[in-house]
Every structure is written in C-alpha cells, then in structure tokens.
Amino acid sequence: MLSNKLKKYSQPFLCYRRVLGQLLLLTFLLAAEFSVMPLTFGPDRRIHDPAVYRLQDSTYLQGDWYTGMAVESGVYTFYSALIHASSFLGIGEELWRMLLYISCMVGLYVYLLKLARLFTSSWLVVPLVVVLHTLLVTANPPLWLYGYYIQVDGGLAPRSVAMAFSIAALYYLLKAPRYLPWILLGLSTLVHVSHSFITFVLFLGAWFSYRLFTEFQKSKSFELNVYWPAIKESFSASFLYLIAGGGFCCKYSG
C-alpha cells in the first residue's frame, strides 16, 4: 500500500523532471549551435528577400531584372505570406523571423531526438552529432552559412522550415505512415518547392518499395490483388500530399 501511494504521488514529480530535462537538453542543443552559427539575417536573404518584399509592395525595386524573375517564378508566394504575417500579428518582422527560425530549430531537434530513440533507444546520438558539428565548424568554418551535418542556417530561410517539416514527416512515416507524413510534406512544399517535392518522392518510393517487399515475402505471389492495398495507399498518400500543398509544385512540372 505504501509503495503504491509513493508511486502515485511521485508520478507528477517524475513528469516535471522529464519535461525539465527535455527543456534543458533543447537549450543545450540550441546554445551549442548558436555558439558557432550566431543568429543573423539568414544565409539567403539576398536571394529570397527581393521577391518576398515585391510580393507585398509592387513598387519595391521596380525595374530590377532579378526581382522580377524571382516573382515570376512563383515559388515565393507562400513564403512571402509567412514572413509578412508579422504585420497581422503586430510583431516586428525581424523578431518574427527569429521566432520562426528558433521554432524550426526546436522542431528539428525534437524530431531528431524522437528518431534517435526510435533507432537506438537512446537520445545521446543527437547531442553527440551536435557537439561534433560544433567542433567542425569551429575548426574549419564553412564558406557558406550552413552546417555540415545539421542543416543550420543561422537565420530563417525556406530551407529552415522545410528541414523541420521533413524530419517530422520522416518520424511519422516510420511510426504511422497513413496520413500525417504526406500532409506535413505538402505544407512544406508551399514554402520550399524543390526540397519538399524531392523529399516526398524519396519517402513515398521507399515506403512503397517496403510495402511491396513485405507483401511479396508474405505471399510469394506476383498477383496484382496481393499488392493492390499498397498501391491504393500510395495513391492516397499522393492525394493527401497534393491537397495539403504539394499541388503547388505542379505548375513547375513543365
């Protein structure tokens, strides 16, 4: 009886301790990266920002060839809307960019830790990789403001969002591949078309191949009806991806 009561009253404490430990770990991971990749304006602002600002202000850099081409490409439509959501929220743009970037970093690390537990039953591999990344960047700084092993950008860029969503999609692909991975990749495509579409094709191809292989192992048959459930699920995954945002990439297929 006494032991049961102790377990009952210690559960909230253990829960708080677990949450505190995770917060401290995330703080360490962020601090390690920001110590060598300090928060800046982001590595690709000169590439992305002309289109981002022109889409909100038609007079911005009028007559500039690159800005006009970037806007005509259409790939910045949703990224520009994401950046300028700061005006609706009443937050300064640079603060909003920083909050988005840190949120993406936190999401990236959270799902990297989940993947580490899934593959190794331990989260230690993620801090080890982050420390290695920190040492490498310190000893041999990259020419561009990118990380070696972890795609850290030093500031918000379309890739920051796409990487966080892709790693989350990978985790859910391994845990529950029915809906969420394809929805996340579809949403990610709205921000970074090329990265997210390539990731979708790779994930869907790997998942579909795995399904076909497992079905063949079970049945040792080449009859279509054996593989039809996997085929239908692949069509469902593609449909979910397209309606969640993946259809945005279709205009570039030509």
Collapsing DSSP states into helix, strand and coil, what is residue 170?
Answer: helix
User: Could you tell me if 185 and 170 are in contact, meaning their C-beta atoms sit under 8 angstroms apart?
Assistant: no
pLDDT at position 30 is 84
Q: Taking Cα atoms as reference points, which of 235, 103, 219 lies closest to residue 161?
A: 103
The Cα angle at residue 208 between residues 202 and 212, in degrees rounded to 5: 145
Q: Taking Cα atoms as reference points, which of 165, 171, 221, 230 lies closest to residue 193?
A: 165
Q: Please, which contacts does 2-7 make with residues 24 or more away whose CB atoms are closer than 8 Å?
A: none
174 CB contacts (<8 Å, ≥6 apart)?
Answer: 115, 118
Q: Predicted confidence band at 237 (pLDDT cuts at 50, 70, 90)?
A: very high
Q: Predicted confidence band at 144 (pLDDT cuts at 50, 70, 90)?
A: low
pLDDT at position 3 is 53
35 CB contacts (<8 Å, ≥6 apart)?
Answer: 134
> Which two three-digit tokens encode residue 66?
């690159």
Quick check: 2 pLDDT over 50? no
pLDDT averaged over every residue in the chain: 82
What are the domain boundaries of the chain? 157-254
105 CB contacts (<8 Å, ≥6 apart)?
Answer: 30, 33, 152, 160, 164
Quick check: 147 pLDDT over 60? no
